[in-house]
Amino acid sequence: MSTPLNYRKFAASMTTAAVVITAIAPAAAAASFTDVSDRYKEAVDLLLSKNATQGVSADKFGTDMNIKRIDAAVMVSKVLDLNVDSAPASGFTDVPSDRAKYVNALKAAGIINGKSATTFDPQANMTRAEMAKVIALAYDLKGTSDLPFTDVSKTFEQYVKALYENDITQGKTATQFGSNANVTRGEFALFVYRAEVPNVVDVSSLSLEQSKPTNITTTHDVNQDFAAASDFVGGLEGTIASGLIAGGRSL
C-alpha cells in the first residue's frame, strides 16, 4: 500500500548560516507560458521536463482549458516513460495514428479504458472521476478511508478514495468531489505532479550552497499549494529543526 502524502516530511539539522536548496530547471520552463501562475508552475515544469506537453501554443499552456482524453493519455504515458513502441494495438479505431502508441501503452498497462471496445473518444473532455481512475492506476495508489463526498459512484469510489487518502485532491467542496466536472489542463498537471513527486524529501540528499540569506525559519505546517519548493530557493538562514509541508488541497 502506498504511503499517504498528507504530510511530506523533511527534516534537517544545519549549522551553516545560510543555505540554498538548488533545483534543476528543465530546458523549457513554465515561465515561457503567459497563462501559468505560480500555483501551477512546478507541475507544468515537470510535464515539460518529461516532454509530455508543448502547451497549446508557443506562449500558452492552456491552463484553464478542459483537458481532452487523448492529451491526458499522452501526458501520463510520457511521464511514466512507458514503452510505447512495443505495446499491442488497443483496438480503438478513433485514435489519431500519431498518438495511438501512447493509448496502446496505457491500455496494455491497465491504466485506461475506452468508451467501448473500439472507441476511445479522444476529443472528449476528461472528467474528474475518469482522472481519479487514471491517476490511481498509473501510480498504484490505494485508499480505504471513508469519503465525505455524496457524488461518487461505486464504479469510481476506490479510485477517488485513493486520491483522497494520498492527498492528491480534496474535492470541490466538503461534500462534492465533482465527479462529472471536467478537468482543466492546469488541474491535471497538478494531479500528475502530486502523484509523481516523492513522498519524502531527504534534505541530506539535496545540493546545498551558500547564498545571501533570506530570513526564513520554518517549524510549523505550511500549505503545500502555496509554498512550493521554489519558494525556498533564495536562501534559508539559521537552523531548520523540522518542517512539515501539508496538503490542504481544494481541487
Helix (H/G/I), strand (E/B), else coil: 196: helix
Could you tell me the CA-to-CA distances from 59 to 16, 48, 125, 184 in Å, in that order?
Answer: 41, 13, 22, 17
Count of C-beta atoms within a 10 Å radius of residue 50: 17
Q: What pLDDT does residue 240 have?
A: 34
* Residue pointed to by grid coordinates 469519503: 147
CA 197 to chain centroid, in Å, comes to 8
Which candidate, 77, 95, 94, places its Cα nearest to that of 86?
Answer: 77
Q: Pick out the chain residues at pLDDT < 70.
A: 1-28, 198-251
Q: pLDDT tens digit string along 114-132?
A: 999 999 999 999 999 999 9
Spans of all domains in the chain: 27-199
Q: What pLDDT does residue 167 have?
A: 92
Task: Please give the helix or strand (H or E) that residue 246 lies within, else none.
Answer: strand 243-246
Which candidate, 140, 176, 172, 143, places its Cα nearest to that of 157?
Answer: 143
Give the whole-angstrom CA distance, residue 149 versus residue 105: 32
Count of C-beta atoms within a 10 Å radius of residue 74: 21
And the C-alpha cell for 197? 513527486
Which candidate, 58, 52, 104, places its Cα nearest to that of 81?
Answer: 52
Determine if the pTM surpasses 0.85: no
* Residue pointed to by grid coordinates 487514471: 134
Which candidate, 88, 124, 125, places its Cα nearest to that of 103?
Answer: 88
Count of C-beta atoms within a 10 Å radius of residue 59: 10
Q: What pLDDT does residue 198 have?
A: 53
Task: Please give the helix or strand (H or E) that residue 239 lies within, else none.
Answer: none
Give the whole-angstrom CA distance, residue 244 versus residue 251: 21
Tell me 184's DSSP state.
B
In Å, the largest CA–CA distance within the chain is 62
